[in-house]
Structure 1
Amino acid sequence: MKYPYWLCALTLVVAMQASASIRQAPEPELRDLMQRTVAEAGSFQDRFDAEVWLLDMSTRLKRFMPDAGERLTLLRLVHQEASKAGLKPEWVLALIHAESHFDRFAISSVGAQGMMQVMPFWKAELGRPQDNLTDNATNLRYGCTILSYYLKKENGDINRALARYNGSLGKPHYPAKVLGFWQDFWYVRP
């Protein structure tokens, strides 16, 4: 359902005023950063959806990434790449939570790299040896594409798709961990 822009803006202003009595008003730099991030977030249906999702997820992500600019940039990328791949952005956040705890320089014991722990052999498979898997945009593009492929291969079964992503098909531990993070930290009620 589409709401007129003025109604959304009014609702947001009233909500911000009500919450201002509970917490301190955001710093002007953060407000400016949020406005720029929303303006660049083309994967959302409308500006209001972008503002609500980005603010909600930024608050949840703060414990892992204290820098607001870094958080908002990552969230915009997550939403963009997940949407492009037909995935729920919150699933991608849960997977990143499980794989790297939002450490873009994470390297696993088997050599997987970046936030989504992508195996470097994919660069050779794609003929793109120059790609940097610790670059969040690159890592998210690879990881979301891989997860989307496995989700389609498994006919929408997220448990099996996650197990394939992790290389642990037939073992329930990894999908349970990711979906646990999704339910406990990243789930958004409709």
Structure 2
Amino acid sequence: MLSALTGACGLAASPGAHAGAQVEEPLADAVRSALAAAIANSAPPKPVFETTEARLAYLRWLGEMSTRLKKRKSDHVTRVEFLETVWYESKRAGLEPALVLGLVQVESGFRKYAISSAGARGYMQVMPFWARLIGGGNTLGLFHMQTNLRFGCVILRHYLDIERGDLFMALGRYNGSRGRPEYPNLVFGARKAWEYKPAAVGA
């Protein structure tokens, strides 16, 4: 099914796909094992909440983000599934959902089958070498929504750890332009469109 869909969508480079210059760096065995374990955990993207208020806050976020994303993803079910997965995978990796949505906007324009000129794939423009290093080598799997978002979030978390929490430098690594401002500034700008501030109770 996936091969038919990708064939129908065309596996040519997509205009506007940003990533693809990520540098393949040697990974220590312990780091490779940790990243592979983070990718392999197949827990479903269904959040569990300790309180009713936490669940209601999530549902309000989901409704607001769905409204904002409607012009880019018109099908309601597809849009909600995408947002649920972004929320789950970003929280799992210790990232802000707004940051991940901003990165997806810059990287692929929310196109599931986007491919950069260097071969980076999917929503978060994951380079195929990551599938070989930590994902069992299945590069077609990078077009699967949850797989792509999980890889992207785990990779960005890895870069954040390397850069000791410096998001500017981590985003540069993600794009293969470490130390240059253009790409991080694009992501920071896009993130603003996805920031969410809950209305005060009783306001």
Q: TM-score, normalised by structure 2?
A: 0.70
Tell me what 1:101 maps to.
109
Q: Is the 8 A contact 1:57 1:75 kept in 2?
A: yes
- Structure label with greater radius of gyration: 1
Gaps of 5+ in 1: 1-39
| Distance across 1 between alignment mates of 2:175 and 2:61 | 27
CA displacement 1:102-153 (0-9 Å, x = unmatched): 0010000100000000000111112512351110100011000000111122
Moved over 4 A (4+): none
Is the 1:41–1:50 Cα contact (8 Å) retained in structure 2? no
How far apart, CA to CA, are the structure 1 residues paired with 2:49 and 2:175?
A: 29
Q: Is residue 154 from structure 1 mapped to residue 163 from structure 2 by the alignment?
A: yes
Asked if 2 retains the 8 angstrom alpha-carbon contact of 1:43 and 1:79, the reply is: no
| CA distance, structure 2, for counterparts of residue 41 and residue 174 of structure 1 | 31
Aligned to 2:10: none
CA RMSD of aligned residues (A): 1.5
Which one is further off, 41-50 or 82-91? 41-50
Separation (CA, whole Å) in 2 of partners of 1:130 and 1:180: 33
Q: Which residue of 1 aligns with 2:189?
A: 180
Q: Which amino acid aligns with 1:173?
A: E
Return the alpha-carbon distance in structure 1 between the equivalents of residues 188 and 87 of structure 2. Answer: 18
Indicate if the aligned counterparts of 1:57 and 1:186 stay in contact, CA closer than 8 A.
yes
Kindly tell me the number of residue pairs found equivalent between the two proteins.
150
- In the alignment, structure 1 residue 42 sits paired with structure 2 residue 47: yes
CA contact 2:113–2:121 (8 Å) conserved in 1: yes
**Letter aligned with residue 159 of structure 1:** F
Secondary structure in 1 aligned to 2:159?
Answer: helix
Higher RCO, 1 vs 2 (CA within 8 Å, ≥6 residues apart)? 2
Indicate if the aligned counterparts of 1:44 and 1:50 stay in contact, CA closer than 8 A. Answer: no
Q: Which residue of 1 aligns with 2:66?
A: 58
Give per-residue Cα distances to partners, 1:61-94, cap 9 Å, x unaligned. Answer: 1111011111100001001110110000110000
Cα pair distance change 1:84/1:178, threshold 3 Å: same
CA distance in 2, matches of 1:44, 1:173: 38
What's the CA shift for 1:189? 2.9
Q: Which has the higher helix share?
A: 1
